[in-house]
Amino acid sequence: MQGPHLVYFADPMCSWCWGFSPVIEQISREFGASLPVRLVLGGLRPWTREPMDAAQRSDVRGHWEHVHEASGQPFDFDFFEREHFVYDTEPACRAVVVMRRRGMHTALAGLRRIQQAFYAENQDVTRLDTLAALAADVGVDQQAFRDEFVADAALQETRADFAMTQGAGIQGFPTLIAGTAEGQPYSLVTHGFQPAARVLPALGQWLQRSAPGTSDAQGQACALP
């Protein structure tokens, strides 16, 4: 991607990414085409096979409560009354990968829709039927989605996203980085949740520094603690 842009590493079943979702929307509204967002699926818990036990449910619930407090995002805590739920994030990531083929706008809309369904509506986004219906909500034909989702190419594309995340040294989500051109060094915007009131001013300053005729923006302090 040439020109100033962001790379957003996220997972649809990461609660802090759900908390960060309004910030990503505000970035798109504030900067538009001048600062496009490239979405990379991170793979929080891909290919998990064992159901959540009581300790895991307690741990996850604690994260959800912290995210709700920090971001105000809604959560349906009836999720924790489920039994034998397998917290496998790969299907939801693969669903967004399939939607991304229709463009990054569709990918980001699909990410938001899956997050909303999982966290606020207590839908099971590990199921293909659920994911196909959610894809339709953002304008993707259900049958086309199903056909692409089960094809090996979608699985390999999803694996490539996970490998890119690992290769970049990303160890948590959400992570947002800013760059001026493909192959050039990136600046960290935030590793973890931050409110829009902190992220947007930092991005505005970075974008000014990256404008033609200014000094190189790479390595400048746009990172948030």
Domains of the chain in sequence order: 30-50+86-169 (1.10.472.60), 174-225 (no CATH)
Asked whether the predicted pLDDT for residue 221 surpasses 60, the reply is: no
For residue 2, which phi and psi values (nearest 5 degrees)? -95, 150
Q: Which tens digits make up the pLDDT trace of 63-97?
A: 999 999 999 999 999 999 999 999 999 999 999 99
pLDDT for the residue 218: 47
Q: Which tens digits make up the pLDDT trace of 7-21?
A: 999 999 999 999 999
Q: Specify the amino acid at residue 108.
A: L
pLDDT for the residue 215: 52
Residues 15 and 96: their CA atoms lie apart, in Å, by 16
Asked whether the predicted pLDDT for residue 144 surpasses 90, the reply is: yes
pLDDT for the residue 1: 72
Residue with tokens 């980001």: 108
pLDDT for the residue 81: 94
Residues 105 and 99: their CA atoms lie apart, in Å, by 9
Polymer length in residues for the chain: 225
Sign of CA dihedral 17, 19, 22, 24: negative
pLDDT for the residue 225: 36
Asked whether the predicted pLDDT for residue 220 surpasses 80, the reply is: no
User: 43-57, 66-80, 98-112, 178-192: lowest mean pLDDT where?
Assistant: 178-192
